[in-house]
Structure 1
Amino acid sequence: MKRWLGKAETTLGNHSDRLNAINIFPVADGDTGTNLYLTVRAAARAAQGVPTDTTARPLVNGNTRPPVVGPPDPAQNDVGAVLARAGQAAMEQARGNSGTLFAVFLCAAAEPLAGHTRLSSPLLAAALNRAQIRAWSALSDPVPGTMLSVMEAAGRAAAVVDADHDGDDSNHTLGLALDAAVEAALAAVVRTEDQLEALHTARVVDAGGVGMLLVLDCLRSAVLGEELQEQLFDGLHGYDVQAPHIHADLPRDDGVEVMCTITLSPLDAATMRQRLDELGESVIMSQVGGEADADGAYRWRVHVHVSDAAPAVALIRSLGEPSDISVSELALPRDPGSLPLEAVPGAAARSTDLGGHGR
């Protein structure tokens, strides 16, 4: 799992420019690659930070003793625990629609894996299914033709393999399930062009869908010890390193993206979702962690696109005390090299730091 997220971080960094270039849905703001990269980076670093128990310890007299040998440290050897930690970090630092949905995906995928020390075909099928259902439900107005469709296709394909092999938990069947999931994800990406009018008109596939395909192929690569399948991207419309930024020729998207983390009771969470739906679009709300506080409230990650930030921020503050609140312009410079991002008014929350993996 750590290898997977580390590989996904590097790969999304390497592909971020191409993902940004074809990002035209739900708004043509050219940042899906950056948002996915920064969110996955948060997950990868959190996963690598899981404490281990493999170093020799000094004794009082200056001698050392070997590492403790005994029951596995759950934080180190529990697949679900590793992914839950990574998912929570991703949720707290999620960027944009695509990053938020990936964080939801990761948190949900961790749940069926809790208590297990290895991945298997049945567990993969359960994790992908839980993740795609949670991601669809996080959006107030989900639509096909996005990364949601790619998640769903991968989950269904893994489930078919699991069913065909009667729940066999061998490594061989796991490999078959991973192959099937990536193949189905690729087919779903190709279909996105005809599922959304904006993509069909521009003759491009969905940027978030391609990003999710990359993530899934990284999982396959990490588990099977094989190289990434670069041929996956041959023929995907618009996905060419030499292609211009497709979004540059589209109408500017006015408005802002508002994101925050906030603790809410179930009633207040329902109220916030309803009122944000009335104020704007692309409303995503998902729990951060599964534990309620002493008052029965949960932490939520909130995302919305609105024409004016003030009413949305006022609504959020009326229901609780948000943390990590950010307001970013949806409209970026049409010439991708014309202005540094920090020069765009209100876009301070959009970091272009790609950690050396930007190209």
Structure 2
Amino acid sequence: MLLTPLDGITLQTKIAANAHAMKRWLGKAEVVLGNHSDRLNAINIFPVADGDTGTNLYLTVRAAVSALDESPVAVTESGNDVGAVLSKAGQAAMEQARGNSGTLFAVFLCAAAEPLAGKTRLGAPLLATALNRAQIRAWSALSEPVAGTMLSVLEAAAHAAQRVDAEQDGDDSNHALGLSLDAVVEAAYQAVLRTEDELAQLQEAHVVDAGGVGMLLVLDCLRSAVLGEELQDEMLDNLHGYKLQDPHIHEHMPADDGVEVMCTISLSPLNAAILRQRLDEMGDSVIMSQVGGARNDDDDDDESPMEASYRWRVHVHVPDPAPAVELIRSLGEPSDIAVSQLALPRHDSDLPRHDPDLPRHDPGQPQHDY
């Protein structure tokens, strides 16, 4: 065990699990992911060895934080609604998600916010419910979910929270929340270690999954923000490929000529199913997740759920963007279509390095509007 579960000695006054703590969590995650972007990029080999998992996670979390910074009303006028804060952050993350990892983080955040709506405090029972909702939604967002990835880490974290909640018989105290957060991070850490044996690509490269490590960092930031404790950097010491002196594993790999296409589009459930099926035939790494609720553009109260329009965030890897974009446009009017090369040269100067007291730096990633 890396973690020492809370006991009666822990100062309960340190624990804060309200809406302000959720803002601190995401702000801390932005800084940590910025500092770890280079190492996450260095071990990024699945589903594509394109060396951008760290950058994509950082940029997506930054979008969530910026949305809260630009509109503090989410905290001050929502009655300190934990769900409202995370929902606002999640919607911004979803609209500006980058890559597989960023999209799945946005799915995680939006889904976790749902059972927290109207709640002023995160307790152990709610944490278990939120993490379980998030891991189910993340698995279902992918057309072909794969174990040994961020998905497995989320699943392990959710199961740990459920186990503690059952053991504590639904106790809503700060003590139970501390126990749950300890267990969540420990389970996530163990799941990260297992990823190397769960995916042949990771085993061959002798590294753990980059997205899984990113989610571990995010969950440790949650624990740190709520419990008022330091981040557990010692967790990273035994992760294969994660030492600063370790090379980027894809430096000598052949370049992938494919591209990543992302957009947001309003579709009926039927057209969304059609789009997913055809994108599956056209490429891989298909992720489709709903953004917000139904939109009834005609204000027709009698409109059936199958006729209602929903906003979707769409992500796919394809050899050529033109057919994918044509398909998307044949079903609706997409916004924010972005096409990015899957394999790009990475240099230290391109990557974010953060100190909490320093201004933010945008590493960027070349993208092209289409």
Using the alignment, how far apart are the partners of 1:43 and 1:19 within structure 2? 20
Whole-angstrom CA distance in 1 between matches of 2:296 and 2:226: 36
Runs of 4+ deviating beyond 4 Å? 351-354
Question: In structure 2, what is the equivalent of residue 122 of structure 1?
Answer: 125
Q: Which residue of 2 aligns with 1:162?
A: 165
Partners of 2:35 and 2:62 in 1: CA distance: 13
Q: How many residue pairs align between the two structures?
A: 328
Q: Does 1:91 align with 2:112?
A: no
Q: Look up the match of 2:341.
A: 329
DSSP 3-state at the match of 2:295: coil
User: Is 1:200 aligned with 2:212?
Assistant: no
Q: How does 1:279-294 map to 2 (within 5 A)?
A: 279-294=282-297
Whichever residue aligns with residue 73 of structure 1, its letter is: E
Q: Deviations over 1:192-240 (max 9, x none)?
A: 0011111000000000000000000000000000010000101100011
Q: Distance in 1 between matches of 2:137 and 2:277?
A: 18
With over 3 angstroms needed to count, the CA separation of the structure-2 counterparts of 1:357 and 1:222, relative to structure 1, is farther
**Matching residue of 1:66:** none
Distance 1:243 1:227 in 2: 26
One of 314, 323, 329 as aligned partner of 1:317: 329
| Paired-residue identity, % | 74
Work out whether residues 14 and 357 of structure 1, in 8 Å CA contact, stay in contact via their aligned partners in 2.
no
Matches within 5 A, 1:242-261: 242-261=245-264
Q: Is 1:356 equivalent to 2:361 in the alignment?
A: yes
Partner of residue 31, structure 1 = 52
Match of 1:215 among 193, 205, 218: 218
Residue 80 of structure 1 contacts residue 110 of structure 1 at CA under 8 Å; is this kept in 2? yes
SS in 1 for 2:340: strand
Preserved CA contact (<8 Å) 1:202 1:246: yes
Alignment of 1:233-312 (within 5 A): 233-294=236-297, 296-312=308-324
8 Å contact 1:80–1:111 — kept in the other structure? yes
CA contact (8 A) 1:140 1:277 kept: yes
Q: Give the Cα–Cα distance (whole angstroms) in 2 for the partners of residues 288 and 53 of structure 1.
A: 18
Measure the CA separation in 2 of the matches of 1:162 and 1:73: 31
The answer to whether the 8 A contact 2:34-2:353 is kept is no
Cα–Cα, structure 1 residues 261 and 53, in superposed 2: closer, same or farther, change >3 Å?
Answer: closer
**Distance (Å, rounded) in 1 between the aligned partners of 2:39 and 2:137:** 27
Partner of 1:347: none
Paired amino acid for 1:124? L
Contact 2:352 2:362 in 1 (8 A): no
The gaps in structure 2 that reach 5 residues or longer are 1-21, 299-307, 355-359, 364-370
User: RMSD of the alignment, in Å?
Assistant: 1.9
Tell me: CA distance 1:150–1:251, structure 2 relative to 1, closer, same or farther (3 Å). same
CA drift of 1:357 comes to: 8.2
The separation in 1 between residues aligned to 2:353 and 2:343, in whole angstroms, is 19
Deviation string 1:228-283 (CA, Å, 9 cap, x unpaired) is 00001011000111211111122322210000000001110000000000000000
Output the CA distance in 2 between the equivalents of 1:293 and 1:223.
39
**Alignment map for 1:40-59 (pairs within 5 Å):** 40-52=61-73
TM-score (norm. length: structure 2):
0.85
> How far did residue 291 of structure 1 move?
3.2
Aligned to 2:367: none
TM-score, normalised via structure 1 length: 0.88
Selected match of 1:103 from 83, 101, 106: 106
Q: Are the equivalent residues in 2 in contact too, given 1:10–1:357 (CA < 8 A)? A: no
Shift, 1:185, TM fit: 0.2
> Of 20, 25, 42, which residue of structure 1 is paired with 2:41?
20
1:353 to partner: Cα distance: 9.9
